[in-house]
Amino acid sequence: MGRYDTSLYLKAQVDNLTGHNEELRLELKESRFEATKANVEFEKAKTKVNNSNYLSGFPASGKIMETCKMKKKNHGFLSVI
Protein backbone atom coordinates (compact mmCIF):
# COMPACT_ATOMS: atom_id res chain seq x y z
CA MET A 1 0.00 0.00 0.00
CA GLY A 2 2.87 2.41 0.72
CA ARG A 3 4.31 1.91 -2.72
CA TYR A 4 0.99 2.86 -4.36
CA ASP A 5 0.78 6.10 -2.38
CA THR A 6 4.35 7.00 -3.32
CA SER A 7 3.74 6.44 -7.04
CA LEU A 8 0.55 8.55 -6.90
CA TYR A 9 2.42 11.29 -5.06
CA LEU A 10 5.26 11.25 -7.59
CA LYS A 11 2.81 11.28 -10.51
CA ALA A 12 1.03 14.27 -8.99
CA GLN A 13 4.38 16.04 -8.57
CA VAL A 14 5.32 15.33 -12.22
CA ASP A 15 1.94 16.62 -13.41
CA ASN A 16 2.34 19.74 -11.27
CA LEU A 17 5.85 20.40 -12.57
CA THR A 18 4.75 19.76 -16.16
CA GLY A 19 2.01 22.36 -15.74
CA HIS A 20 4.49 24.89 -14.37
CA ASN A 21 6.88 24.13 -17.21
CA GLU A 22 4.16 24.78 -19.80
CA GLU A 23 3.25 28.07 -18.09
CA LEU A 24 6.89 29.16 -18.09
CA ARG A 25 7.30 28.24 -21.76
CA LEU A 26 4.24 30.29 -22.67
CA GLU A 27 5.47 33.24 -20.62
CA LEU A 28 8.91 33.00 -22.24
CA LYS A 29 7.35 32.90 -25.70
CA GLU A 30 5.24 35.98 -24.94
CA SER A 31 8.27 37.79 -23.48
CA ARG A 32 10.33 37.06 -26.58
CA PHE A 33 7.50 38.32 -28.79
CA GLU A 34 7.22 41.54 -26.77
CA ALA A 35 11.00 42.03 -26.82
CA THR A 36 11.11 41.55 -30.59
CA LYS A 37 8.21 43.96 -31.04
CA ALA A 38 9.91 46.57 -28.82
CA ASN A 39 13.18 46.13 -30.71
CA VAL A 40 11.46 46.68 -34.07
CA GLU A 41 9.76 49.81 -32.75
CA PHE A 42 13.08 51.05 -31.36
CA GLU A 43 14.84 50.52 -34.70
CA LYS A 44 12.06 52.37 -36.54
CA ALA A 45 12.28 55.28 -34.12
CA LYS A 46 16.08 55.34 -34.34
CA THR A 47 15.93 55.37 -38.15
CA LYS A 48 13.35 58.15 -38.07
CA VAL A 49 15.54 60.25 -35.76
CA ASN A 50 18.65 59.60 -37.84
CA ASN A 51 16.81 60.56 -41.04
CA SER A 52 15.43 63.67 -39.37
CA ASN A 53 18.90 64.72 -38.19
CA TYR A 54 20.41 63.96 -41.60
CA LEU A 55 17.80 65.94 -43.55
CA SER A 56 17.80 68.91 -41.20
CA GLY A 57 21.29 69.88 -42.37
CA PHE A 58 20.15 70.48 -45.96
CA PRO A 59 18.32 73.61 -47.06
CA ALA A 60 16.17 71.75 -49.61
CA SER A 61 15.26 68.55 -47.80
CA GLY A 62 12.95 67.45 -50.62
CA LYS A 63 15.89 67.03 -53.02
CA ILE A 64 18.84 65.33 -51.43
CA MET A 65 20.94 64.13 -54.35
CA GLU A 66 21.01 64.46 -58.10
CA THR A 67 23.48 63.59 -60.83
CA CYS A 68 25.83 66.09 -62.37
CA LYS A 69 28.05 65.81 -65.43
CA MET A 70 31.80 66.14 -65.38
CA LYS A 71 33.47 68.33 -68.02
CA LYS A 72 36.01 65.81 -69.35
CA LYS A 73 33.93 62.61 -69.21
CA ASN A 74 30.22 61.95 -69.37
CA HIS A 75 30.01 59.96 -66.13
CA GLY A 76 27.23 60.89 -63.74
CA PHE A 77 28.22 61.22 -60.10
CA LEU A 78 26.03 61.87 -57.15
CA SER A 79 26.45 65.23 -55.53
CA VAL A 80 24.80 66.60 -52.45
CA ILE A 81 22.66 69.68 -53.03
d(CA 29, CA 77): 49
| pLDDT above 90: residue 57 | no
> What would the pLDDT profile of 4-55 be if each residue is shown by its tens digit?
789 999 999 999 999 999 999 999 999 999 999 999 999 999 998 888 876 6
Contact partners, residue 77, CB within 8 Å, separation at least 6:
67, 68, 70
For residue 65, the model assigns a pLDDT of 56
- pTM, two decimals, is 0.53
